[in-house]
């Protein structure tokens, strides 16, 4: 099986990697196109993270509709309701399998999400 990486990063990770028919998106954080952390609450940060996932998937020729699994880390479990509200707007029908846990973040953010998409070639 061949592996192809997509995107660039200032840290030693690949934003997206295609391995066969699967696309793996590294954990995304709420950083806007300007490279700055998005301020605001859990809903704004979740929306930015999911936009980043959408962009990483597009680099690999995949879409949000092809996401089969996500893993989400929340800084505070009390943000779960707002997180779900924003998350649902990106997966309005047939949402992917998901694991959500509370975790201490390495930077001052409220959420990080990684994704796996099934995107058969041609």
Cβ–Cβ contacts within 10 Å for residue 20, how many?
A: 13
Q: Which domains are seen in the chain, by residue range? A: 3-118 (3.30.1330.40)
For the cut 60, the answer to whether the pLDDT of residue 14 exceeds it is: yes
pLDDT score at 53: 98
Q: What is the pTM of this model?
A: 0.91
Element (H, E) at 50: helix 42-59
Cβ–Cβ contacts within 10 Å for residue 77, how many?
A: 11
Banded pLDDT at 39 (limits 50, 70, 90): confident
pLDDT (average), residues 71-83: 98
Cα separation of 114 and 58, whole Å?
A: 15
pLDDT score at 13: 79
pLDDT (average), residues 99-114: 96
Cα separation of 18 and 104, whole Å?
A: 29
């Amino acid at each position: 099986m061949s592996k192809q990486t997509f995107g660039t990063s200032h840290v030693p990770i690949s934003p997206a990697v295609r391995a066969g028919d699967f696309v793996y998106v590294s954990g995304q954080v709420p950083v806007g196109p300007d490279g700055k952390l998005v301020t605001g609450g859990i809903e704004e940060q979740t929306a930015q993270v999911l936009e980043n996932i959408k962009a990483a998937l597009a680099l690999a020729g995949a879409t949000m509709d092809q996401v089969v699994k996500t893993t989400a880390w929340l800084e505070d479990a009390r943000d779960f309701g707002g997180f779900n509200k924003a998350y649902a707007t990106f997966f309005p029908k047939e949402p992917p399998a998901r694991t959500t846990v509370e975790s201490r973040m390495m930077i001052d953010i409220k959420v990080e999400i990684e994704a796996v998409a099934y995107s058969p070639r041609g």
